[in-house]
Chains A and B, each alone.
Chain A
């Protein structure tokens, strides 16, 4: 019996610590959710935009074919939204979706598979001159078909394990086919969806308002009467808005200092949700410049980093926390900690790592005190603290690093030109999926800023993307990770971002996920008072 006492205690502890089941909380109807949005929508067409400034205010007007399960903290489980069910052919080349009946656009017209086909044709096969930001992630798609009003079929050129999750992309709003047929750009300045909220008004630089769609197909939802998105770019003003209870929430994230000050000021009136964030700062090393063309030098740079110490301490001042490999910790394809520690720069014995780093630098002919410039993006969080930390870590292996801050708008062109020796690289995903997160490391990728050429990486990427069996895919992913971060050190990962959402405790029915692009439809959200 004593043997099981520990286990029993553990089970009880987990049961007590677990949040109360959703079923126990009866949603309350009414109220207006007010949230701050730090960015503004350049246009309203999510198919072509890349900022959360579109998703946060505009997503509640639309549905997507699939969505990620709104209460899944990993944000990796696709569930039907406009799709009621689906089947996948045995060869993995055909996906057939049954579409919900009775779904209406806000103008009262019926939504059918024709609208879904038109929307996906716009995303995957846009007409010349029309921008589609995520078109390349659907390269496997040969055709989108609508054999009947309530069936949509995707035919693929090759099987792709990420395809289903990719269809749950929050960017893929379903638009009305008739409107698209007349004007493919109509949705840049207008709203007409099937979502839980209808459009009321948008005042540029001020606010965006939506009100409850009384004819929403998901009966009983939404719970809110409406929502109001306030465009507030200053982070201190966002915090002040939540602190002054003028806004319930800001869906992107706050800093640890903001979290602490809000919690201190408002106590139980604030609920804090945290999650590893599908954003990471990496270090790109220019393979066309000496001495960074030498993998011993690149390896020395990663070996110098004490990631575990930084994780413990930088998380107090910056929006970073976990030590991670190529996938967000806690998600299906994440690297187990024991395996991670085997990679260069991930050992817990920092003294040994740094001694090895110094030896490699000597071997590569890099003198003590060697100076280079590290280019960083002119954004405070978390670029600034990570930059200071990196320079200090490299100082400890005898490198003399000068930081050059490049203004945010000029940063991306600078990376693309390859005008750097070592520079901060960054990536933020909308869904945690290796295909979406790792495509940047393929030799031909536009985001291969370090200009490495590695056929092994290219092959491993393709193999993992097409592997149908999960174990097989995992094996390829681990091999790719070892090649990328250890054997060749084409790039180095710093720390995984940490998403911190301190929100009014009145806000219920919203669950944090690793991406700030997910869970913004607001159909499950309600206000307790």
Chain B
């Protein structure tokens, strides 16, 4: 124990960071304030989603006819919807839906895409040719159209919604990761691993994938914003999350459209929440890319 403390102290004396994550975060805030703002909003969303039941006294699905279409007031800060449900409560609980679907789809999309991209680059030849042509087919569809088609085929429940958002993200990630992996494949340590008789799985997982983590993380954050937007779009079209679950896109459809003039708060606040979340993830993602990309870093 004493030795550990002494080592720590020595490190400090040497000028080496004792808390690398804290220092890295401090550096990130100083160098990229916009990205830090994005990160703060993302963090806030996470906290709000986790503590939803502590933050609002209202049940987001409970109908209260006595409070129908009530404007923002002291009892309902952001007003109520056509069923008397508290808009703020639905926004807070809606953040859970957005983050759950967003993280789920972005994680699976980016991960499967990364594995396919690295595999395709590693094997090359016909494998690469076939994988890339399949990716091209998927890429030829706009994101929303492909997601719409998938959800129409599979049906619109939450797992299917995540699948529908995940699938269009896979080729986008695979393409970027493959480009990075192609240069890694030519590295001497990959040749050395082959010469040592390592299996393909080990080379891909142990030696190639860790080296594409930077683009992977950048894509993951970029996809998060897109996935939240896509979930909101599908829910708005009635193909995503279903009532009475609280979801931002869902809050924008139906009565919010019909009563847009009489009760604009029903559309304004969920709209702002979606915009803010996507903006925050994009800011954070862009800054993360700048921070992690060695070319940009040197500039």
B83 touches A389 (CB 8 A): yes
B242: chain A residues at CB < 8 Å are 402-405
Please name all residues of chain B whose beta carbon is closer than 8 Å to the beta carbon of A380 when the two chains form the complex.
Answer: 238, 253-254
Known contacts A389-B63, A392-B61; is A317 also within 8 Å of B258 by CB?
Answer: yes
Given the contacts A380-B254, A405-B242, A257 and B68 also touching, CB distance less than 8 Å: no
A316-B62 in contact (CB<8A): no
B63 and A392 contact, CB distance less than 8 A: yes
Of residues 147 through 168 on chain B, the ones whose CB sits less than 8 Å from some CB of chain A are: 152, 155-157
Total of A-B residue pairs, C-beta within 8 Å: 61
In the complex, the answer to whether A403 meets B244 with C-beta atoms within 8 Å is yes
Partner of B157, one of A317, A388, A392, A404: A404
Contacts of B157 in A (CB 8 A): 404
Q: Is A87's beta carbon under 8 Å from chain B?
A: no
Nearest Cβ on chain A to B229's Cβ, whole angstroms: 21
A395 contacts chain B at the CB level, 8 A cutoff: yes
A380 to B82 alpha-carbon distance, docked (Å): 14
Q: In the complex, A261 Cα to B157 Cα: how many Å? A: 34
Which residues between 92 and 128 of chain B lie within 8 Å of chain A, taking CB atoms? none
**A247 CA / B32 CA spacing, docked (Å):** 57
Kindly state whether residue A74 has any CB partner on chain B within 8 Å: no
Given the complex, which residues of A lie within 8 Å of B244, measured CB to CB? 388, 391-392, 403
Residues of A within 8 A of B63 (CB): 388-389, 392
Report A393 CB to chain B, min CB distance, Å: 8
Point out the residue from A255, A378, A391, A395 that lies within 8 Å of B258, measured CB to CB: A255
Q: How many residues of A contact B (CB 8 A)?
A: 27
Q: Mark A23-56, 1 if CB is under 8 A from B, else 0.
A: 0000000000000000000000000000000000
B65–A312 touching, CB < 8 Å: yes
Min CB gap B17→A, angstroms: 50
Asked whether A446 is an interface residue with its Cβ less than 8 Å from the other chain, the reply is no
Q: Does B191 sit within 8 A of A, measured CB to CB?
A: no
A388 touching B261 in the complex, CB below 8 Å, given contacts A312-B65, A313-B68: no
Residue of B at shortest CB range from A393? Answer: B63
Query: In the assembled complex, how far is the CB of residue B152 from the closest CB belonging to chain A, in whole angstroms?
Result: 7
The reply to whether B261 and A385 form a contact with Cβ atoms under 8 Å apart is no
Query: Within the complex, what minimum Cβ distance (angstroms) separates A374 from chain B?
Result: 10
Q: Which residues of A sit under 8 angstroms from B62, Cβ to Cβ? A: 392, 395
A405 touches B61 (CB 8 A): no
Asked if A387 CB lies within 8 Å of chain B CBs, one says yes
- Tell yes or no: B262 within 8 A of A by CB: yes
Q: How far is the CA of A316 from the CA of B66 in the complex (A)?
A: 12
Cβ-defined contact, A261 with B261, below 8 A: yes
Q: A407 near B152 (CB under 8 angstroms)?
A: yes
How far is it, in angstroms, between the C-alpha of A387 and the C-alpha of B155 when the chains are bound? 18
B12 contacts A by Cβ under 8 Å: no
Contacts of A402 in B (CB 8 A): 242
A387 to B69, CA, bound (A): 18
Contact residue among B68, B69, B83, B259 (Cβ-Cβ distance under 8 Å from A388): B83
Which among A257, A310, A404 has the highest number of chain B CB atoms within 10 Å? A257
Whether A316 touches B243, Cβ cut-off 8 Å, given contacts A255-B258, A257-B262, is: no
Interface residue A421 (Cβ < 8 Å from any Cβ of B): no
Most buried by B among A261, A317, A380, A391: A317
Distance, CA A261 to CA B155, complexed state (A): 35
Residues of B contacting A405 in the complex (Cβ-Cβ under 8 angstroms): 156, 238, 242
A309 interface residue, CB < 8 Å from B? yes
What is the chain B residue whose CB lies nearest that of A389? B63
**CB 8 Å contact bits of A292-321 with B (1 = contact, 0 = none):** 000000000000000001101100110000
Looking at chain B's contact residues, the main secondary structure is loop
How far, in angstroms, from A312 to B63 measured CA to CA in the complex?
A: 14
Given known A-B contacts A385-B255, A389-B63, A403-B244, A317 and B68 have beta carbons under 8 A apart: yes
**Bitwise interface map of A from 392 to 403 toward B, beta carbon under 8 Å scored 1, else 0:** 100100000011
Nearest-CB distance from B138 to chain A (Å)? 24
How far, in angstroms, from A150 to B259 measured CA to CA in the complex? 56
Which residues of chain B are within 8 angstroms of A388 by Cβ–Cβ distance? 63, 83, 243-244
Could you tell me if A403 and B243 are in contact, using CB atoms closer than 8 angstroms?
yes
Asked if A488 is at the interface of the complex by the 8 Å CB criterion, the answer is no
Question: Bound state CA distance, A313 and B63, in angstroms?
Answer: 11
A145 close to chain B: CB less than 8 A: no
Cα(A388)–Cα(B255), bound, Å: 12
- Decide yes or no whether A437 CB sits under 8 A from chain B: no
8 Å CB contacts to B: which residues of A217-255?
Answer: 236, 255
B259-291: which have CB < 8 Å to A? 259, 261-262
**Residues of chain B from 224 to 266 with CB closer than 8 A to chain A in the complex:** 238, 242-244, 253-255, 257-259, 261-262
How far, in Å, is B246 (CB) from chain A's closest CB?
A: 12
By a CB distance below 8 angstroms, the chain A residues around B69 are 316
Q: What is the 8 Å Cβ interface bit string for chain A, positions 317-337, against chain B (1 contact, 0 not)?
A: 100000000000000000000
Bound complex: CA A385 to CA B82 (Å): 9
Query: Known: A255-B258, A385-B82. Is A313-B65 also a contact (CB below 8 A)?
Result: yes
Chain B, range 58-95, C-beta contacts under 8 Å to A: 61-63, 65, 68-69, 82-83
CB distance from A236 to the nearest CB of B (A): 8
Given the known interface contacts A257-B258, A389-B83, A405-B238, the answer about A384 and B68 at a Cβ–Cβ threshold of 8 Å is: no
Of A255, A313, A391, A402, most buried by chain B (CB within 10 Å of CB) is: A313
Chain B nearest CB from A284 CB (Å) reads 19
A223 to B253, CA, bound (A): 42
Report chain B residues within 8 Å CB of A384: 243, 254
Which residues of B are found within 8 Å of A312, using beta-carbon distances? 65
Contact B83 A385 (CB under 8 A): yes
* Binary flags per residue of B44-61, CB closer than 8 Å to A gives 1, else 0: 000000000000000001
Q: What residue of chain B has the Cβ atom nearest to residue A403's Cβ?
A: B242
In the complex formed, the residue of B with least CB distance to A405 is B242
Q: How far is the CA of A253 from the CA of B62 in the complex (A)?
A: 29
Give chain A nearest CB distance to B158 CB in angstroms. Answer: 10
Mark each residue of chain A from 170 to 198: 1 if its CB lies under 8 Å from any CB of chain B, else 0. Answer: 00000000000000000000000000000
A317 and B255 contact, CB distance less than 8 A? yes
Residue numbers in A under 8 Å from B262 (CB-CB) = 257, 260
**B-contacting residues, A407-434, CB 8 Å:** 407
Q: Which residues of B contact A407 (CB under 8 A)?
A: 152
Q: B: which residues have CB within 8 A of A?
A: 61-63, 65, 68-69, 82-83, 152, 155-157, 238, 242-244, 253-255, 257-259, 261-262
Closest 4 A-B residue pairs measured CB to CB? Answer: A313-B65, A257-B258, A392-B63, A317-B82
27 A-B residue pairings within 8 Å (CB atoms): A236-B257, A257-B258, A257-B259, A257-B262, A258-B258, A260-B262, A317-B68, A317-B82, A317-B83, A317-B255, A317-B259, A380-B238, A380-B253, A385-B83, A388-B243, A392-B62, A392-B244, A395-B61, A395-B62, A402-B242, A403-B243, A403-B244, A404-B155, A404-B156, A404-B157, A404-B242, A405-B238
**New A-B pairs, 11, CB < 8 Å, besides A317-B83, A388-B63, A407-B152:** A236-B257, A255-B258, A310-B65, A316-B68, A317-B82, A380-B253, A385-B255, A391-B61, A392-B244, A395-B61, A404-B155
